[in-house]
Amino acid sequence: MTKAYLEITLKITPANRAKAGAVYTQYKQPFLTTIPGAQSKALLIRDEDVQVLHGFDSRAHSEQYLTSALFSHDVVGALQPYLAADPEIRIYDAQ
């Protein structure tokens, strides 16, 4: 059962969304198979931004992911060229 969600909102211009989507696809499976407590990952697209919603078994695991090499080095490094602003990061507890 998912107990926490990590939501990362990204400002990405429409011209760069396909490239950012490729980054999402590239790292989805490694996220699900190597990150402790990871349960789901979804890409949500709106006209104004793109959100990545991560499901975790606990808030602690969602916080740990933000300091992992997969996130801080691989994902952030790959997305950096496509970001129009700093990402917004929120963690939600699920009931």
pLDDT digits (tens, 9 = 90+) for 20-71: 999 999 999 999 999 999 999 999 999 889 999 999 999 999 999 999 999 9
Domain map (residue ranges) of the chain: 4-50+65-93
* Cα–Cα distance for residue pair 30/27, rounded to 1 Å: 5
pLDDT of residue 2: 83
Retrieve residue 51's tokens: 């959100």
End-to-end CA distance of the chain: 10
User: What top-level class would CATH report for the domain 4-50+65-93?
Assistant: alpha beta
How many CB atoms neighbour CB 6 within 10 A? 22
* In contact, 79 and 20? CB cutoff 8 Å: yes
* Cα–Cα distance for residue pair 39/21, rounded to 1 Å: 20
pLDDT of residue 1: 80
Is the whole model's pTM more than 0.85, yes or no?
yes
